[in-house]
Amino acid sequence: MPKSSKKSESVTSREFTPYKTKRGEEYMNEAQREHFKGLLLSWKSELMEEVDRTVSHMKDEASNFPDPADRASQEEEFSLELRTRDRERKLIKKIDKTNDRIDDDDYGFCDTCGVEIGIRRLEARPTATQCIDCKTLDEIREKQIGI
């Protein structure tokens, strides 16, 4: 992900080389699994660097401002940063689970219907566990139920 924090889990804004499928290639073969493992490990590494930057930033910037407005601004900034890091912590857990799925040869197939999720969808969202059709149906159900 870029240096700025983002809510999205998508890796489309990151620099990576898209996987080029070969004619007649089996889906989720060793080369594809290695491609996604590398993608996930690099993403996790970038998130961990953000955590380190946040810790050092909060240590360096922690001041007891005499002005209540300045103190409140700093507290709000730290609060937003910590919320973002918490979201990223959850994403790191998701990345770790996805790596486990790759190791177990269970990666790339929809949890709901079992069909192939697809290389391009997985490159856009490497932690995806559902094909686009099942995910769309889930989102429609969520809207109807009002979750």
Reported as a single tens digit per residue, the pLDDT across 44-88 is: 999 999 888 888 877 777 777 788 888 888 889 889 989 999 999
| Structural domains in the chain plus CATH codes | 27-107 (1.20.120.910), 108-147 (no CATH)
Burial 43-80 (b: 16+ CB within 10 A, else e): bbeebeebeeebeeeeeeeeeeeeeeeeeeebeeeeee
Distance set, CA 110 to CA 61, 84, 115 (Å): 45, 28, 5
28 or 62, which is more confident: 28
Distance of CA 132 to the CA centre of its chain: 17
Q: Which residue did the predictor score with more confidence, 49 or 2? A: 49
> Does the pLDDT of residue 7 top 80, yes or no?
no
Rounded (10°) angle between helices 68-103 and 30-61: 160
